[in-house]
Amino acid sequence: MLFWETLGWMLWATVFIGYLFALSAIIGDLFRDRGLSGWWKAVWVVFLIFLPFLTVLVYLIARGQGMAERSSRAAREAEDATASYIRQVAGKTPTEEIAAAEALRDAGSISAQEFEVLKAKALA
């Protein structure tokens, strides 16, 4: 008997944890959706509180496609922001560094030997 009770509790715990994941995804999607007014967001949240399982199912059926699109768009925007930050912090490419050093050499600011050192450093 103890085995079946434990198995039943584990099943319900799994269902509850899955529900919590769905609930957090839905609440995140509600506040990410700019096309939905504040009143509709409040209505969804109230229904999530008073009729939780039914509301989760209805939300996933009614707004699941838009939820996937908003999630994908948010992931793309985060990836683009990360790539932009990395490009900004990384500095110049080796080609740009060599061109800058060449411009300094042509202007007479550095010697040919210093140019070769900078070129080697950029290519390393």
Q: Domain limits at 116?
A: 92-124
pTM of the model: 0.59
> Does residue 78 share a domain with residue 47?
yes
Of 45, 71, 73, the C-alpha closest to 59 is 45
> Does residue 96 share a domain with residue 78?
no
> Does residue 113 share a domain with residue 69?
no
How do residues 84-106 score in pLDDT, each as one tens digit? 888 777 777 788 888 888 888 88
Average pLDDT on 94-123 reads 86
pLDDT of res. 109: 85
> Does residue 110 share a domain with residue 57?
no
> Does residue 96 share a domain with residue 42?
no
> Does residue 70 share a domain with residue 18?
yes
> Does residue 96 share a domain with residue 86?
no
Query: Is the pLDDT confidence value at 20 over 80?
Result: yes
> Does residue 28 share a domain with residue 43?
yes
Annotate 73-106 with DSSP letters as a single string: HHHHHHHHHHHHHHHHHH---HHHHHHHHHHHHH
> Does residue 46 share a domain with residue 106?
no
pLDDT of res. 121: 86
Q: Are 23 and 41 in contact (CB under 8 A)?
A: no
Q: For the chain, how many structural domains are there in total?
A: 2
pLDDT of res. 40: 92
